[in-house]
Chain A
């Protein structure tokens, strides 16, 4: 009986997740226009890279497990894109604007040798961060100083639409095989889940 009650706690969250999933595509255009601050302190928006292939994820600089793995997977995807000659932009948006900022991200990049010019580490307001995470389904919650979140990378095609989603279940998938690169360039709308 207790087990069933416990399972009920988790099961009841599913309708909310499904609802959020249905919202994501509709809310992407709005999310592309949110203001962010890059490592140089300049204001920018994701729409700046419209017409290019984007890898987008969320992370924060003091995270040592999920974010480290996410950044490692981004590096692997970058290598894969390089192999097939597919130009991409990589955008990492901070979960934690209270801690992260241009200086913090600059140090983080230096420590982790993430120095390519097509990688961008952005920070926004608390409100924009919340709305962006909700719109693109990057769920997270605070456990005091910890920001608890999952692994996720979005591939946004040149048309500004979500072409693929990398989750934990598909974490080793390669976006940039020849076929994937062609699909992404054509802005194919499909989910890899």
Chain B
């Protein structure tokens, strides 16, 4: 890249960030602030990482910027809702050599919803795919989630995740009281994902290959008895995912995922787990199916609403003969054991310290230690 091209890129990126923030500023002018729904909220975080991993795709040791997450969710009428979440961040999972050191602006969610009843809302747009617990519980709000980082395999697509965290399509979501609790249900379909440069791409500008992703999540939330607050459920989705290299399809994989999850907060405890079983097969061949699994389990306890020690284990066993994991940069088996503590300095500010040991040697990776210290705020 020439110096001139580099300077052009740098200028364009900065101009885009400035325009984005200035637009946000205009939304918050006092004249409009009293109109319900135009209030701007969000999250921001920054952290320090120390890692023994060499040539890490997610960066080296040192201070790092997390993300600036701006969130607007106006209720337009009693029945029509809108939700917009834009994030400025450094994508640390660029393919080797492509990372340009500039922040990117992602429209993480842009969904318009029709509230059919208290029990059912139908959304269209780009949303967080409703599977498991984490993806639709914490979204991009670093200040809300207990740990510095998401479980690695649940990470967003541009941070090495192996699941389609975002979906462009339609989503029906609801809940209904039954017995001592309520059932929860989510059904969705949308543009199938593809793999570009080693990362999942949700095809925001149209379904170029006409593959449709379809899935659902069904659960039950106990609201009484010893199991009060337990939300337990199952999830499944399927789609065809093609891998592209320089515009040419090098692999087509039928991805089929089933699994389950739970989240439970008995008293000051919080317990959660998610499991995903992959049963993938090459689309063009009558070959064997490739089974892979990924799961995590986490427990934490909050003292006085402010101090939360926690522990998490992650286990990821991914078939390297599967065309899906073979081409995903994050598609390598690993184990991770993590302990940490969260301290709520104020209601708006969380300090988090996590340490983990990760072993990715099974597929030729490294074993390493990481330490993260994060300051995360909401506003």
B29, A68: Cβ atoms closer than 8 Å? no
A107-B228 contact, Cβ under 8 Å, with A64-B265, A68-B304: yes
B379 contacts partner chain A, Cβ-Cβ < 8 Å: yes
Residue on B with the closest CB to A5?
A: B21
B302, A8: Cβ atoms closer than 8 Å? no
- How far does the alpha carbon of A98 sit from the alpha carbon of B137 in the complex, in Å? 17
- How far does the alpha carbon of A149 sit from the alpha carbon of B249 in the complex, in Å? 48
Interface residue ranges of B220-278 to A (CB < 8 Å)? 223-224, 228-229, 265-268, 270
A15, B28: Cβ atoms closer than 8 Å? no
Q: Which single member of B25, B41, B139 contacts A12 (CB below 8 Å)? A: B25
Residues of B within 8 A of A10 (CB): 379
Residues of B within 8 A of A168 (CB): 346-347
A1, B18: Cβ atoms closer than 8 Å? yes
B10 contacts partner chain A, Cβ-Cβ < 8 Å: no
B17, A2: Cβ atoms closer than 8 Å? yes
Per-position contact with A for B1-29: 1 when CB-CB < 8 Å, else 0? 00000000000000001100110110011
Interface residue ranges of A58-89 to B (CB < 8 Å)? 62, 64-72
B305 contacts partner chain A, Cβ-Cβ < 8 Å: yes
- How far does the alpha carbon of A59 sit from the alpha carbon of B21 in the complex, in Å? 33
- How far does the alpha carbon of A6 sit from the alpha carbon of B304 in the complex, in Å? 33
Per-position contact with B for A110-138: 1 when CB-CB < 8 Å, else 0? 01100000000000000000000000000
B118, A66: Cβ atoms closer than 8 Å? no
Number of interface residues of B (CB under 8 A): 43
B18, A5: Cβ atoms closer than 8 Å? yes
Interface residue ranges of B285-343 to A (CB < 8 Å)? 302, 304-306, 308
B41, A148: Cβ atoms closer than 8 Å? yes
- How far does the alpha carbon of A71 sit from the alpha carbon of B347 in the complex, in Å? 14
A64, B302: Cβ atoms closer than 8 Å? yes
A9, B141: Cβ atoms closer than 8 Å? no
Interface stretch (choices A30-38, A139-147, A183-191): A139-147
A98, B118: Cβ atoms closer than 8 Å? yes
Q: Which single member of A6, A64, A68, A107 contacts B224 (CB below 8 Å)? A: A107
Of A5, A6, A143, A151, most B-chain CB atoms within 10 Å = A143
B347, A12: Cβ atoms closer than 8 Å? no
From DSSP, what is the main secondary structure of chain B's interface residues? Answer: loop
Interface stretch (choices B32-40, B48-56, B200-208, B358-366): B32-40
A111, B266: Cβ atoms closer than 8 Å? yes
A141-B41 contact, Cβ under 8 Å, with A65-B344, A68-B268, A68-B304: yes
A103 contacts partner chain B, Cβ-Cβ < 8 Å: yes
A62, B144: Cβ atoms closer than 8 Å? no
Residue on B with the closest CB to A141?
A: B41
Per-position contact with A for B107-125: 1 when CB-CB < 8 Å, else 0? 0000000000010000000
Per-position contact with A for B209-226: 1 when CB-CB < 8 Å, else 0? 000000000000001100
B30 contacts partner chain A, Cβ-Cβ < 8 Å: yes
Please give the distance in Å from A128's CB to the nearest CB on chain B. Answer: 16
A13, B347: Cβ atoms closer than 8 Å? no
B71 contacts partner chain A, Cβ-Cβ < 8 Å: yes
Q: Which single member of B29, B34, B136 contacts A144 (CB below 8 Å)? A: B136
B346, A9: Cβ atoms closer than 8 Å? no
A103-B224 contact, Cβ under 8 Å, with A98-B118, A112-B267, A150-B348: yes
A148, B378: Cβ atoms closer than 8 Å? yes
B73 contacts partner chain A, Cβ-Cβ < 8 Å: yes
A48 contacts partner chain B, Cβ-Cβ < 8 Å: no
Residues of A within 8 A of B265 (CB): 62, 64
> What are 29 A-B pairs at a CB distance below 8 A?
A2-B18, A5-B21, A6-B21, A9-B21, A9-B24, A9-B25, A9-B40, A16-B34, A62-B265, A64-B265, A64-B305, A65-B305, A65-B306, A65-B308, A67-B305, A68-B305, A98-B118, A104-B228, A107-B224, A111-B266, A111-B267, A112-B267, A143-B71, A143-B141, A143-B144, A145-B136, A145-B137, A150-B348, A168-B346
**B residues lining the A interface (CB < 8 Å):** 17-18, 21-22, 24-25, 28-30, 33-34, 39-41, 68, 71, 73, 118, 136-137, 139, 141, 144, 223-224, 228-229, 265-268, 270, 302, 304-306, 308, 344, 346-348, 378-379
Going nearest first, the 5 A-B pairs with the smallest beta carbon separation are: A69-B305, A68-B305, A12-B28, A5-B21, A8-B25
